[in-house]
Copies of this chain bind each other. A is one copy, B any other.
Amino acid sequence: MFGKLFENVRRKAPLIHCITNYVTVNDCANMLLACGASPVMADDCEEAAEIAGICQGLVVNIGTLNTRIIPAMTAAGRRANELGHPVVLDPVGAGASRLRTETALLLMEEIRFAVIRGNMSEIRSLAGAGAATRGVDVNLADRVTEENLAKAVAFAMEFAQTSGAVAVITGAVDIVADKDKAYCIRNGHPVMSAVTGTGCQLSALTGAFAAANPDLPLESAAAAVCAMGLCGETGYKRMGDMDGNASCRNYIIDAMYRLTPRQLEEGADCTLWDGEVRRP
């Protein structure tokens, strides 16, 4: 099924509006092009809604948040909502500052998100669980591992229910959940955390998958997470003994450019959670 969802991205070539941070914006643009979508970045309040209106999906990312662009985020989000286009939130650094936490919460009030993607500290901070995000990185205590997976899945499903969005919590194991079910994904490689922006790129990619498959937000998000993870694996395998995180960054995007729907279908390591859901 993930192969089919990816085929839709390639065939429909959705135009994705990103209001995103200036650290990783170039990588997000190239990742969108690599998967077959087209990026357009526009963060001024004067044009945000209009640009959202000509696109098929919107990605809101609060890395390097500044107060000037918050109204652009809400205006674009509302327009996308009116049109029924999926909106993805990447709450970069929520829990690390009051501005980020409060802005993310404000956006969740103003906009109906199809997907919210972050690390466990970021998502916990949006759930009022009092996380202390380590800058833009997950706090050590919050890391999702095989050991605490049941609890993390339950939290993700709870968050999905409360927020109304598909919850994507990335870590050593990635969780993609709505209120009724959850997928656990074990693609990816630790080197990805040494490449700035792999999370942002995944959020952009999730926007492309959701826009091309608007009726399947849960499966679209899971497919995007698997695709990104597979590209991380390919990127890592390609590294020679002089390569580091800069070359790996290129290899990951290259891998998406080369990834076929069939490879995604076959390489996706995604299992439906069927363990006990221990509600928090």
A interface residue numbers (CB < 8 A to B): 15, 17, 21-27, 29-30, 33-34, 38-44, 46-47, 50-51, 54-55, 63-68, 93, 96-100, 132, 134-137, 194-197, 234, 238, 241-247, 249-258
Given contacts A43-B66, A246-B254, A27 and B26 within 8 Å (CB-CB): yes
Integer count of this chain's copies in the complex: 3
A-B contact pairs, 5 of them (CB 8 A): A26-B196, A40-B93, A47-B99, A50-B96, A244-B258
Whether B247 and A242, one on each chain, are in contact in the complex, defined by CB atoms closer than 8 angstroms, is no
Whether A257 and B249, one on each chain, are in contact in the complex, defined by CB atoms closer than 8 angstroms, is no
Alpha-carbon distance A134/B56, docked complex (angstroms)? 11
Alpha-carbon distance A199/B62, docked complex (angstroms)? 27
Given contacts A194-B33, A196-B33, A253 and B258 within 8 Å (CB-CB): no
Whether B135 and A51, one on each chain, are in contact in the complex, defined by CB atoms closer than 8 angstroms, is yes
Given A46-B98, A50-B97, 5 more pairs with CB closer than 8 A = A34-B194, A38-B137, A42-B64, A243-B254, A245-B253
Alpha-carbon distance A84/B205, docked complex (angstroms)? 41
**Residue of B whose beta carbon sits closest to that of A101:** B47
Whether A33 and B257, one on each chain, are in contact in the complex, defined by CB atoms closer than 8 angstroms, is no
Given contacts A30-B195, A50-B97, A196-B29, A253 and B257 within 8 Å (CB-CB): no
Alpha-carbon distance A25/B136, docked complex (angstroms)? 15
Whether B246 and A136, one on each chain, are in contact in the complex, defined by CB atoms closer than 8 angstroms, is no
Given contacts A22-B22, A54-B135, A96 and B40 within 8 Å (CB-CB): yes
Whether B246 and A40, one on each chain, are in contact in the complex, defined by CB atoms closer than 8 angstroms, is no
For A96, the chain B residues whose CB sits under 8 A away are 40, 50-51, 54
Given contacts A33-B195, A135-B15, A245-B257, A44 and B26 within 8 Å (CB-CB): no
Whether A251 and B245, one on each chain, are in contact in the complex, defined by CB atoms closer than 8 angstroms, is no
Alpha-carbon distance A211/B21, docked complex (angstroms)? 25
Whether B242 and A246, one on each chain, are in contact in the complex, defined by CB atoms closer than 8 angstroms, is no
Alpha-carbon distance A134/B12, docked complex (angstroms)? 14
For A43, the chain B residues whose CB sits under 8 A away are 64, 66
For A39, the chain B residues whose CB sits under 8 A away are 23, 135-136, 196
For A38, the chain B residues whose CB sits under 8 A away are 134-137
For A34, the chain B residues whose CB sits under 8 A away are 194, 244-246
Whether B253 and A246, one on each chain, are in contact in the complex, defined by CB atoms closer than 8 angstroms, is yes
